[in-house]
C-alpha cells in the first residue's frame, strides 16, 4: 500500500472508531508500518475523530522522527510490539469503556482477560494479557510488553485501555473492536449464569483457525 493511501486509511479507521464511541476526546493512539520499514503514528494530543493525514508523525526505519507532528507519548508501547512481533504491521490503543470496566473487576484473570463467550474473540485475539496499572506514558508499559516475548498480540492495561497489534491497520482495528465487544458481553452478563464455550470448544476453535495460543 502506498504511503499516501496508508495515511488516509489510518485516519478513516480512527474516525470510525471515534464516531462509534470506542475512544473519546484526545485519547487513543494508532500506528502502522510503511513499505520502507518506517512508521506512521498519530500525534500527541490529537483526537481520533480529527486526524490529519499530512500531520501524522513519520519515523524512518531506524526509529528517527523525520516528519509530521510530535508523536504520542505511548511510543514505547508501540515499538515494543513491533520489536517483539515480526508479524506486526499496525498497533492500536483505545480507551474503550467496557474493556476498562472489565479490567477493574476483582476477578479479572491476568493471563486470560477475556472470557471465552464467542469464537470470534479467540480467533482475532488469542489470549489477552491483563497488565497492571501504569501511569500514562510510562516506558514501563513497553517493557511489560517486551517481557511477553511476542507471545501475545493483545494486552489490556488495567484502568486504562486495550492495545492490539495486527498484520495491518485494518486487522488491528477489527481485533480491538472484537476485544471491546467481548468485554461488553462479559459486563452485560456478569450477573447471569451464562454458558461460555467449554475447554473442548475453545480448543476446537484454536485448532481449526490456527489461533496463536500460548499456555
Would you call 82 a catalytic residue per the annotation? Answer: no
Q: Cell numbers at residue 11, please?
A: 485516519
Among the residues of 147-197, which ranges form H helices? 169-188
Alpha-carbon 26 to chain mean position: 16
Would you call 120 a catalytic residue per the annotation? Answer: yes
Q: Cell numbers at residue 115, please?
A: 472470557
Distance of alpha carbon 137 from alpha carbon 45, whole angstroms = 12
Q: For the chain, state the CA radius of gyration.
A: 17
Residue tagged active-site, from 3, 35, 82, 120: 120
Identify which of 45, 42, 39, 11 has the alpha carbon closest to the alpha carbon of residue 25: 45
Residue tagged active-site, from 3, 8, 74, 180: 74
Identify which of 88, 80, 75, 183 has the alpha carbon closest to the alpha carbon of residue 136: 75
Distance of alpha carbon 133 from alpha carbon 63, whole angstroms = 27
Identify which of 49, 73, 71 has the alpha carbon closest to the alpha carbon of residue 58: 71
Q: Cell numbers at residue 59, please?
A: 519515523
Q: Which residues form the catalytic set?
A: 74, 120
Amino acid at each position: 500500500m502506498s504511503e499516501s493511501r496508508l495515511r488516509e486509511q489510518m485516519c478513516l479507521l480512527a474516525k470510525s472508531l471515534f464516531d462509534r464511541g470506542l475512544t473519546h476526546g484526545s485519547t487513543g493512539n494508532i500506528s502502522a508500518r510503511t513499505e520502507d520499514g518506517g512508521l506512521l503514528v498519530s500525534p500527541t494530543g490529537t483526537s481520533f475523530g480529527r486526524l490529519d493525514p499530512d500531520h501524522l508523525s513519520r519515523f524512518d526505519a531506524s526509529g528517527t522522527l523525520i516528519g509530521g507532528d510530535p508523536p504520542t507519548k505511548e511510543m514505547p508501547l508501540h515499538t515494543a510490539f513491533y520489536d517483539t512481533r515480526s508479524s506486526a504491521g499496525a498497533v492500536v490503543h483505545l480507551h474503550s469503556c467496557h474493556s476498562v470496566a472489565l479490567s477493574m473487576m476483582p476477578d479479572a484473570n491476568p493471563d486470560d482477560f477475556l472470557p471465552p463467550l464467542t469464537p470470534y474473540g479467540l480467533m482475532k485475539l488469542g489470549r489477552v494479557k491483563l497488565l497492571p496499572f501504569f501511569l500514562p506514558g510510562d516506558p514501563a508499559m513497553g517493557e511489560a510488553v517486551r517481557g511477553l516475548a511476542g507471545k501475545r498480540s493483545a494486552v489490556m492495561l488495567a484502568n486504562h485501555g486495550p492495545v492490539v497489534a495486527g498484520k495491518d491497520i485494518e486487522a488491528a482495528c477489527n481485533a480491538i473492536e472484537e476485544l471491546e465487544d467481548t468485554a461488553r458481553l462479559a459486563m452485560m452478563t456478569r450477573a447471569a449464569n451464562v454458558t461460555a464455550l467449554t475447554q473442548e470448544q475453545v480448543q476446537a476453535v484454536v485448532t481449526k483457525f490456527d489461533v496463536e495460543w500460548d499456555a
